[in-house]
Amino acid sequence: MKGRTIILDHIGDTEAAALMVDGKLDDLLIDSTAPRPGTIYRAIADRPVKGQGGMFLKTPDGSAFLRQIKGLAPGQPILVQVSGYAEPGKAIPVAAKLLFKSRYAIVTPDAPGLNISRSIRDEAERDRLLEIAHDAAGGAAHGLILRSSCFEVDGDEIAEDIVAMLELADRVTSDSSDTMEMLCEGDSPHILAWREWTEAAEVVTEAGGFEIHGVMEALEAAQGAEVTLAGGASMYVEPTRALVAVDVNTGNDASLAAGIKANMSCAKALPVALRVRGLGGQITLDLAPMPKKDRRAFENALRQAFRTDQVETTLVGWTPLGHYELQRKRARAPLHEVI
């Protein structure tokens, strides 16, 4: 089946959303019992950890960890936002820089100014969006970013989104209480799908959509480690406690170019494999053997593949043993933990 399809459904009692592209599972969002990224707390500073340059905080959902604690003293209230999912047994990762993010607008209380996504290059469109933003957010104390999804969207719809985010930011940042409390919960999978999957797509909302559109079959395959690559090659994506290990194999191809072909296929398939499995943190690639002269081509292919990926990923580079390392934000609930 060609085209993009967004399916909003549940797995048991758990809310989930899937994005199918040309009949293949391209992205997956599943709710979990952990605090959702984007949740905002009024937390209480607990104790500093000098060796790690951070501080543990008390929140209604348990201990949280904040880096960059200059000027923060134990017992002091502070507004923080959940920045990702915690590793098992570790504190909730939070940030002091708040972002109020919706489909078209991002409000930035700590960074005043009005900005338009750089991916919108049409000058007439940029001027139109600036006019909408000035009308909707004129005199606002917070900063505003208009996202690439605003391109050629009705102005009233964008203005409504801006006003809603500004009102939420005002309500949260003006709160003067000093008790521990959740002030704003992060978006659910269905809201995240509306917010982040903005390209044209068919939207399926009826119950049983996952079964009808092949999502459950794709999820069963994703629970295994093996990912089939072009030309008979394969890679195995396996999370461990310390990192995510990716092993690339050439299969039955015995040609001189077998290694580079398998590694280039890995670069193309890796973002989807990580998204669907909800994997982040440290990622180490044990690539198929290839000459060092081919490394630059592989890096370029990997960089191109992650360019459109919505989860923040840093391409770190090569190790002395010839492995390639990445650092990826834990923005999704790991599939092996929620299913």
Q: What is the reported pLDDT for 9?
A: 97
Instruction: Name the token pair of 258.
Output: 């077998």
pLDDT class of 68 with cuts at 50, 70, 90? confident
Of 80, 97, 114, at which residue does a domain stop? 97
Q: What is the reported pLDDT for 201?
A: 95
How far is the CA of 150 from the CAs of 100, 106, 189, in angstroms? 16, 11, 21
Task: Flag whether pLDDT at 239 surpasses 90.
Answer: yes
pLDDT class of 224 with cuts at 50, 70, 90? very high
Q: Find the mean pLDDT for residues 65-77.
A: 87
**Does some domain include residue 183?**
no
**Does some domain include residue 182?**
no
**Which of 47-56, 145-154, 208-217 shows the lowest per-residue confidence on average (mean pLDDT)?**
47-56
Which of residues 111 and 20 earns the better pLDDT score? 20
Task: Flag whether pLDDT at 51 surpasses 90.
Answer: no
Do 299 and 315 meet the contact criterion of CB atoms below 8 Å apart? yes
Asked if 8 and 84 sit in the same domain, the reply is no
Q: What is the reported pLDDT for 182?
A: 96
Nearest-CA neighbor of 28 among 239, 245, 273, 237?
A: 273
Task: Flag whether pLDDT at 48 surpasses 80.
Answer: yes
What digits encode the pLDDT tens for the residues 156-197? 999 999 999 999 999 999 988 889 999 999 999 999 999 999
Asked if 227 and 325 sit in the same domain, the reply is yes
Q: What is the reported pLDDT for 52?
A: 72
pLDDT class of 319 with cuts at 50, 70, 90? very high
Asked if 276 and 211 sit in the same domain, the reply is no
* Structural domain containing residue 286: 223-338
Q: What is the reported pLDDT for 317?
A: 97
The predicted model scores a pTM of: 0.92
Task: Flag whether pLDDT at 86 surpasses 80.
Answer: yes
CA atoms 89, 315, 274, 98: torsion sign: positive
Nearest-CA neighbor of 219 among 9, 38, 35, 37?
A: 9
**Does some domain include residue 294?**
yes
In a 13 Å sphere around the CA of 278, the CA atoms on its Cβ side amount to: 23
Q: Find the mean pLDDT for residues 271-300.
A: 96
Map tokens 């100014």 to a residue: 113
Cβ neighbours of 46 (radius 10 Å): 18
**Does some domain include residue 71?**
yes
Asked if 212 and 301 sit in the same domain, the reply is no
Report how many domains make up the chain.
Answer: 4
Nearest-CA neighbor of 114 among 100, 131, 92, 93?
A: 131
Q: What is the reported pLDDT for 256?
A: 87
